[in-house]
Structures are given as structure tokens and as C-alpha cells.
């Protein structure tokens, strides 16, 4: 297991295997920021931080683009991303109990692959 110097005192610390990487390695991750994630990917793949950030940004853009087209982006062994459509509905203001109209919206849904679920359980 590789330790990239991320804090390990937190109860939210998890050991994560980099899925899909030919030399899959375990790294310790705890509430990572974008720069922490970029550094971890750069170190694990021998890319520069700029290259790692560009790759991560491209992947995120591909997820958003696929969801915008109602397509599903699948990464075998990791999971899939797709649009999640929520219908308009009536909710309640928890303070007053008054009905509140909630507009329809679209979000991005991630479904973990079996390998990820097995690794986490």
C-alpha cells in the first residue's frame, strides 16, 4: 500500500485501489480536494500534475456531456455515470409545514460496478 501523505487521523479515511490502472496500487485517501486528487493521480501514473489535471477534467467533461445527451458513460470495473431526471413535485417547508413547489431537475448519477461494491464491503 502506498501512503501519499494524506491525513489518516480522520474516521473518514479509506483505502482505495486505483481501478483500471495496469499497476493498480492502493492509496490512502481522506476527504481529498481536487489538488490532492490530482497529486495522487500524477504520482500513481507518472504524469505531471498539469497532465493529470487535464485528464481528470476531460473525464469530468465527458461525464457531463454524456449525461447532457442522455447517454451512459461506463467504465468497466469502476461504474457508470448517467443523467438522473427528477420530476417536479410538491414538498413541505419543515419549519412551517407549508407546501412548496419543487421544480423538475436533472442530476448526475453514479452507479458503482460490482468490483467497487465488493472492495468497499
Task: Specify whether domain 14-120 bears CATH 1.10.1740.10.
Answer: no
Query: Mind listing the pLDDT tens digit for each residue in 31-60?
Result: 778 998 899 899 999 999 999 999 999 999
Q: CA 84 to CA 108: how far, in whole Å? A: 6
Query: Mind listing the pLDDT tens digit for each residue in 68-116?
Result: 899 999 999 999 999 999 999 999 999 999 999 999 999 999 999 999 9
DSSP label at residue 40: H
- Please state the φ and ψ torsions of residue 6, each to the nearest 5 degrees: -75, 150
SS3 107: strand
**pLDDT of res. 26:** 55
The residue-averaged pLDDT of 12-34 equals 56
Amino acid at each position: 500500500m502506498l501512503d501519499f501523505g494524506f491525513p489518516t487521523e480522520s474516521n473518514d479515511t479509506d483505502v482505495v485501489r486505483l481501478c483500471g490502472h495496469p499497476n493498480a496500487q492502493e492509496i490512502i485517501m481522506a476527504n481529498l480536494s481536487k489538488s490532492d486528487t490530482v497529486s495522487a493521480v500524477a504520482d500513481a501514473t507518472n504524469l505531471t500534475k498539469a497532465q493529470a489535471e487535464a485528464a481528470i477534467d476531460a473525464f469530468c467533461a465527458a461525464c457531463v456531456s454524456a449525461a447532457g445527451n442522455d447517454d451512459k458513460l461506463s467504465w468497466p470495473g469502476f461504474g457508470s455515470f448517467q443523467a438522473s431526471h427528477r420530476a417536479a413535485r410538491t414538498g413541505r417547508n419543515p419549519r412551517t409545514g407549508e407546501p412548496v413547489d419543487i421544480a423538475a431537475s436533472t442530476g448526475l448519477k453514479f452507479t458503482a460496478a460490482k468490483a467497487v461494491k465488493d472492495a468497499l464491503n
